[in-house]
Amino acid sequence: MSEEKKLTKEELIKKAKLPAKKAMEWHPFYRGKIEVSPKVQVSSFDDFGVWYTPGVAKPCQDIHKNPLTVYKHTNKWNNVAVVSDGSRVLGLGDIGPEASMPVMEGKGLLFKYLGGVDAFPICLDAHDPEDIIQAVKWIAPSFGGINLEDISKPKCFYILDRLREEMDIPVWHDDQQGTAAITLAAIINGLKVVGKELDNVEIGLIGAGAANLCLARTLLKAGVPEKNLTLCDSTGLLHAGREDLDKEKSPVKWEFAQKTNKGKIDGGLPELIEEKDVVVAASKPGPDTIKKEWLKKMNSDGILFTEANPIPEIWPWEAKEAGVRIVGTGRSDFPNQVNNSIGFPGIFRGTLDVRAKTITDEMHIEAAYAIAEVAEKQGIHEDYLVPTMDNTEVYIHQAVQVGLKAIEQGIARVELSEEKLKEKAEEVILRSRKHTKTLMDTGLIKPAPKVE
């Protein structure tokens, strides 16, 4: 029996509130989550003549003559910028660049510990899409990849499309592609548990923001028929008869309104949920955005993912009481966490290791299947669909599969064998884990204060 079933509702609610309580103690205690640390030996002060002037002039000249040697002489090969304007942070909305810093630092910590990637928060005091695009282009020489984060729609679509088209390093919007990858992985294994097939289930998506619009595109590419997919925004179900949808202002949403819900069914959340096998919510934080009575009308062996942060659209135990068989959330303190952190560190690891020029939809779909495979090997069940963050193998396996897919698609600058990709990913990821543990064991990272 899972811990979720053993605890009372009051205990579950208290447990759900504990991370926020700890956050207000731990953040000021450490005053930030990441810092710059040397990776070279400094055995004497003479070494600075090598790492800096006069010796550094030689690698500078080499890069000037052969620009791609920047990946050999500098950390560009492993640097990722986590870029945000703070316009849509978690479930908090437009709170600005300074207030988004704790999230972006947290992203940097996850990148480093889970994927061995050196990621830096770049919080921009800019909201105009053209300004953000230009700022990213200006900083690009220092980075091997760009992770766009918590940027509001619809500009997030435009910014991603422009930067992917105009830059020669991978640009990724984790709220779109990352969420799509881990959600697809959870759907794949959830359907295996209940004995259904991806190309023969009815799927409803609650919310038509960045996450679900990318998920919709991903599901279609992964084999879900258009007729089996329905989306709903704050106004109602998307369909071709919706006169309020503007092709110019919301081109992506408009496109899916033409493709899906061929019967032009009207209504809202109750109608979207009815007779669905899978429902994915990425919308307004709950806990009562989704009602129990609506879930009772899902098909048997229903699968529900409620991904709003910090509070899911409905508490998982309430969804179970309504008859839903499998429930996942975006939180680490409940079973089946549909968590981007399972995806982006490994995806970027593989992307950086082959110096891919972009991250394609096929690459993040490949990552989804890699995630699902790792969990399936361990034994999937109703409360375990995707690996947890402590599973090192999931990041290594993704890195290998993503790297191989980039090579197959002809967008990798470096071609490595499957064996070499695995060796490289293991070396970088395990080094990062050991580095953190060493700092903790020696007291350079102090224990966090206890909070109850």
Catalytic residues: 52, 107
Q: What does the DSSP assignment read for 50-65?
A: HHSTTTTHHHHHHHHH
Burial class (CB in 10 A: 0-12, 13-18, 19+), 281: buried
Phi, psi of 80 (to 5 degrees): -130, 135
Nearest to 191 by CA among 372, 446, 338: 372
> What is the distance between the alpha carbons of residues 40 and 74, in angstroms, rounded to a whole number?
12
For the record, the structure tokens of 257 come out as: 């309104």
Q: Left if phi > 0, otherwise alpha if psi is -120 to 50, otherwise beta: which for 329?
A: beta
Phi, psi of 384 (to 5 degrees): -145, 95
List strands edge to edge, sheet with 118-123: 118-123, 79-84, 145-148, 171-173
> What is the distance between the alpha carbons of residues 30 and 47, in angstroms, rounded to a whole number?
31
3-state SS record for 222-259: HCCCHHHEEEECCCCECCCCCCCCCCCCCHHHHHHHHH
Question: In sequence order, what are the residues at sequence separation of 6 or more whose Cβ sits closer than 8 angstroms to the Cβ of residue 303?
Answer: 187, 190, 191, 194, 277, 278, 279, 324, 325, 326, 327
Question: In sequence order, what are the residues at sequence separation of 6 or more whose Cβ sits closer than 8 angstroms to the Cβ of residue 99?
Answer: 86, 89, 92
Q: Which amino acid is at 437?
A: K
Q: Which helix (H) or strand (E) holds 21?
A: helix 9-30
| Cα maximum dimension of the chain | 75
Nearest to 186 by CA among 60, 340, 59: 340
Nearest to 383 by CA among 305, 424, 326, 435: 326
List strands edge to edge, sheet with 203-206: 229-232, 203-206, 278-281, 303-306, 326-329
Torsion of CA 351, 356, 359, 362, to 10 degrees: -90
